Amino acid sequence: MVTEALTVLIWNEYIHETRDENVIRIYPDGMHHTIGAALTRLLPGVNVRTATLPEPEHGLTEEALAGTDVLLWWGHAAHDAVEDTVVERVKQHVLGGMGLIVLHSGHWSKVFTSLLGTTATLQWRSAGDRELVWTIAPSHPIAEGVPNPIVIAEQEMYGEPFDIPVPEEIVFISSFSGGEVFRSGVTFTRGRGRIFYFSPGDQDYPVYHHPDVQRVIANAARWASPRSRERRVPSLRGPVAPVV
């Protein structure tokens, strides 16, 4: 059992918020701080940390990850700029038990696609569609306390086909004004780590200020949290003796 408080590390490439006027207006301190403030409010006792691309090792040192229960990942403009050694390090921590929440355009990050084994491609349109996020699994803890549907007034459209492995659980399915649908909240397990992908959240719309979106992310952080911070990546064992 983790006896310390839940520690969430929010990773953001932090590019759009430093150069795009519209994004700066919505997220003057960066999306990571908006999300972090929400988690602090919604998860009493949570320990929120942040890390960004420009930091040494992107802020994802062995020490930082070892102290993390759940990692959030937001990337878009610079997936390729993330060092392969850091990607591999994050992957090992997930396999060893660290929770991972991948947000929106993080679907195309090296971290996510290397854990899935697919392209994670989809179809998209950034034209202010209304997104309705429907709960498909009403007793899932990630859906606790949110209306059905969550209404997001304006958002980038992410549509099927979404090239992911069949998820273990589909928590949410979204529709868009243009008629598209999307598996917008899905879970996976890799090794000992729990993974949740949640698609709402483009940089051009104030989606992370939406209280229901914040609630989902907070629920997911709790859900993805490992029962222990000890990391045990599965490994080959043999020759083993028969059970006697």
- Considering only residues 129 to 188 of the shown chain, the ones binding a copy of itself according to CB under 8 A are 129-130, 132, 134-139, 141, 144, 148-149, 151, 157, 159-163, 165-166, 168-170, 173-181, 183, 188
Looking at the Cβ atoms of 28 and 165, the one nearer to a copy of itself is: 165
Asked if 108 is part of the footprint of a copy of itself (rule: CB under 8 A), the reply reads: yes
Closest CA to 211 of 42, 80, 93: 42
Which string of b and e fits 4-29 if b means at least 16 CB within 10 Å? eebbbbbbbbbbbbeeeeebeebbee
The minimum distance between CB 138 and a copy of itself, in angstroms, equals 6
Nearer to a copy of itself, 53 or 122 (CB): 122
| Nearer residue to a copy of itself within complex by CB, 35 or 111 | 111
- Quote the least distance from Cβ 56 to a copy of itself, whole Å: 27
Q: What is the size of the binding site for a copy of itself (CB under 8 A)?
A: 71
Judged by CB under 8 A, does residue 190 bind a copy of itself?
yes
| Residue 195: strand pairing partners | 100, 188
Closest CA to 127 of 174, 163, 176: 176
What is the total residue count of the chain? 244
Nearer to a copy of itself, 3 or 235 (CB): 235
| Chain CA centroid to CA 119, Å | 17
Structure tokens at 25: 């207006």
